[in-house]
């Protein structure tokens, strides 16, 4: 890519961090499919980053991949200098709550230090811009609804004004990163925006998260480990709907604002697993593990487990005209069909160190047999 762009050059790239992860790779694919222009993807390729997700765009001249760490200040500064991005879309993070409980250090490093490093580089770079390039520059920070803490059953859904009350090391590290972004807007005038979204699901999600883990286990006839009583509620958002929301905010969002993104699909974990088992019974009729629901095993709960998340996305809907297009039922069916059609992908990502993670997270959990009976 040229480093000699003029201010009127509409083909300036965007710089995406963490684009080889679940949401990031869906975003990269959607962006390039929509012909939105060049994109540079900076990703460290941790266990969660998988270049295989982006094999279909490797040869696309609008796509460039850089393997590297967002905590590497010199690298991040050099990338901004060289590529002169018109925006930064920041996905890179350690993202799994259970991992944050067993080892919080990496979360503080990437989610807090990494965001700080990126903000500093963006600030210096923004300071060097003039005219249209300066006016158009945006920094979009992708965050989570988990920063708002937990809701009781009758509480209203999270709004952008809901006070922060993170409960897990993951949520605390993301909350800290949101606060840094906010401060860089107010103190240094960085034109940043924040999105806080609910639980995503869809293609390319690493099978450590609820839905792909249950699919991977069910297909092998392994136990489906439901934490506690399975009555925790999440608000499910199809990943492509989320990517569309991010593009909308990037194009039309107001600088300094936060936008909540949610699918409007509140479901208990047990409901999710039950629906998924029914779909598996239907789509894999030859399975010897039917009915798949019999594989459910209630196991010891996650410490500090948030009871309920729900997003009020009315600001994004009324201000920017975004709407989730996928219902939970259609999105889940698409997701399962994708996993069934991509068994090789699942095999690759679940070999090696993944097995170690499953042992570490699940072997120590004692079966919650009493809860299981009462919850059925």
Q: Which residues bind ligand NAD (CB under 6 A)?
A: 17-18, 20-24, 43-46, 48-49, 69-71, 91-95, 110, 114, 142-144, 174, 197, 199-200, 206
Closer to ligand TYD at the Cβ: 209 or 222? 209
Closer to ligand NAD at the Cβ: 268 or 287? 268
Tell me whether residue 235 is one of the annotated catalytic residues: no
CB of 335 to ligand TYD, least distance (A): 13
Q: Which does 225 bind (CB under 5 to 8 A by kind): ligand TYD, ligand NAD, none?
A: ligand TYD
Q: Which does 284 bind (CB under 5 to 8 A by kind): ligand NAD, ligand TYD, none?
A: none
Which are the contacts of 213, defined by CB distance < 8 A and separation ≥ 6? 207, 225
Which are the contacts of 228, defined by CB distance < 8 A and separation ≥ 6? 298, 300, 301, 302, 305, 368, 371
CA quadruple 245, 246, 251, 252: dihedral positive or negative?
positive
97 scored as a contact of ligand TYD (CB under 6 A) = yes
Out of 43, 94, 113, 145, the active site residue is 145
Q: How far apart are CA 48 and CA 55, in angstroms?
A: 16
CA quadruple 332, 338, 344, 348: dihedral positive or negative?
negative
148 scored as a contact of ligand TYD (CB under 6 A) = no
Tell me whether residue 145 is one of the annotated catalytic residues: yes
Tell me whether residue 227 is one of the annotated catalytic residues: no
Which are the contacts of 355, defined by CB distance < 8 A and separation ≥ 6? none
Q: Which does 258 bind (CB under 5 to 8 A by kind): ligand NAD, ligand TYD, none?
A: none
Q: How far apart are CA 190 and CA 140, in angstroms?
A: 11
- The count of other CB atoms within 10 Å of the CB of residue 367 is 13
Which parts of 275-334 interact with ligand TYD (CB under 6 A)? Answer: 302
CB of 165 to ligand NAD, least distance (A): 16
DSSP character string of 198-259: --EESTT--TTSHHHHHHHHHHHT--EEEETTS--EEE-EEHHHHHHHHHHHHHHPPTT-EE
CB of 97 to ligand TYD, least distance (A): 4
227 scored as a contact of ligand TYD (CB under 6 A) = yes
- The count of other CB atoms within 10 Å of the CB of residue 364 is 10
Q: How far apart are CA 204 and CA 174, in angstroms?
A: 22
Out of 146, 241, 306, 312, the active site residue is 146
Q: Which residue is nearest to ligand NAD (CB)?
A: 21
CB of 226 to ligand TYD, least distance (A): 5
CB of 201 to ligand NAD, least distance (A): 7
Out of 126, 148, 170, 204, the active site residue is 170
CA quadruple 197, 200, 204, 209: dihedral positive or negative?
positive
Q: Which does 213 bind (CB under 5 to 8 A by kind): ligand TYD, ligand NAD, none?
A: ligand TYD
Over the Cα atoms of the chain, what is R_g? 21
Residue from 83, 234, 267, 308 touching ligand TYD (CB under 6 A): that is: 234
3-state secondary structure of 186: helix
- Of 15, 27, 91, 85, nearest to 53 by C-alpha is 27
17 scored as a contact of ligand TYD (CB under 6 A) = no
The interface mask with ligand TYD, positions 201-220, x = CB under 6 A, is: --------xx--x-------
Binding site for ligand TYD (CB under 6 A): 97, 199, 209-210, 213, 225-227, 232, 234, 269, 302
Catalytic machinery residues? 145-146, 170
């Amino acid at each position: 890519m040229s480093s000699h762009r003029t201010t009127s050059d509409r083909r300036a790239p965007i710089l995406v961090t963490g684009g080889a992860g679940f949401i990031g790779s869906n975003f990269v694919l959607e962006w390039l499919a929509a012909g939105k222009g060049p994109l540079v993807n900076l990703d460290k390729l941790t266990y969660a980053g998988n270049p295989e997700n982006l094999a279909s765009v490797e040869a696309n001249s609008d796509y460039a991949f850089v393997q590297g760490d967002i905590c590497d200040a010199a690298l991040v500064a050099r990338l901004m200098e060289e590529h002169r991005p018109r925006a930064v879309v920041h996905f890179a993070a350690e993202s799994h709550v259970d991992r944050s409980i067993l080892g919080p250090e990496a979360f503080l490093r990437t989610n807090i230090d990494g965001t700080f490093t990126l903000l500093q580089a963006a600030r210096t770079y923004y300071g060097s811009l003039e005219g249209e390039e300066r006016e158009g520059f945006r920094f979009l920070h992708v965050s989570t609804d988990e920063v708002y803490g937990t809701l009781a059953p009758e509480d209203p859904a999270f709004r952008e004004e809901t006070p922060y009350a993170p409960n897990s090391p993951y949520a605390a590290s993301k909350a800290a990163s949101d606060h840094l972004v906010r401060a860089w807007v107010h103190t240094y005038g960085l034109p940043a925006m924040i999105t806080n979204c609910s639980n995503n699901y869809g293609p390319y999600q690493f099978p450590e998260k609820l839905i792909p883990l249950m699919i991977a286990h069910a297909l092998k006839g392994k136990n489906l480990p439901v934490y506690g009583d399975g009555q925790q509620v999440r608000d499910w958002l199809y990943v492509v709907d989320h990517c569309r929301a991010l593009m909308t905010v990037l194009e039309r969002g107001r600088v300094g604002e936060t936008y909540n993104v949610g699918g409007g699909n509140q479901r208990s974990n047990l409901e999710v697993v039950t629906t998924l088992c029914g779909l598996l019974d239907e789509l894999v009729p030859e399975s010897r593990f039917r009915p798949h629901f019999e594989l459910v095993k209630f196991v010891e709960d996650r410490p500090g487990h948030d009871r309920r998340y729900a997003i009020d996305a009315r600001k994004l809907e009324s201000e920017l005209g975004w709407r989730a297009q996928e219902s939970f039922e259609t999105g889940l069916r698409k997701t399962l069909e994708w996993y069934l059609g991509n068994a090789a992908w699942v095999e690759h990502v679940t070999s090696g160190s993944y097995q170690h993670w499953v042992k570490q997270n699940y072997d120590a959990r004692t079966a919650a047999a009493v809860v299981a009976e009462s919850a059925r």
